[in-house]
Homo-oligomer: A and B are copies of this chain.
Amino acid sequence: MAELIDGKQLAKTVNAQTKRAVTELKTRGVNPKLIVILVGEDKASQIYVRNKQRKAVQLGIISETTRLPEDVSQAELLKLIDQYNHDDTVNGVMVQSPLPRQIDEAAVTRAILPTKDVDGFNPENVGQLYSNSNLNFPVSCTPKGIMSMLKAYQVTLAGANAVIVGRSNIVGRPMAALLLNASATVTVVHSQTKDMRAYTRNADILIVATGIAHLIKGEDIKPGATVIDVGMNRDENGKLTGDVDFDSAEPVAGKITPVPGGVGPMTIATLMQQTVELTKWSE
Contact = CB atoms under 8 A, between A and B. Distances in A.
Secondary structure type dominating chain A contacts? mixed
A132 B169 contact: yes
Identical chains in the assembly: 2
Nearest to A131: B169
A167 interface: yes
Given A192-B159, A193-B185, A194-B185, A106 B123 contact: no
A96 interface: no
Contact of A188 (B109, B121, B131, B185): B185
Nearest to A199: B185
Interface in A90-142: 106, 109, 121-135
Interface residues of A, number: 37
A177 B172 CA distance: 12
A158 B192 CA distance: 7
A50 B173 CA distance: 38
B194 A190 contact: no
Contacts of A25: none
Nearest to A106: B133
A189 interface: yes
Interface string A143-170: 0000000000000001101000001010
B180 A173 contact: yes
Given A188-B185, A190-B185, A194-B185, A130 B135 contact: no
Interface string A177-192: 1001001011111101
Contact of A187 (B106, B124, B129, B186): B186
Contacts of A121: 131
Interface of A: 106, 109, 121-135, 158-159, 161, 167, 169, 173, 176-177, 180, 183, 185-190, 192-194, 199
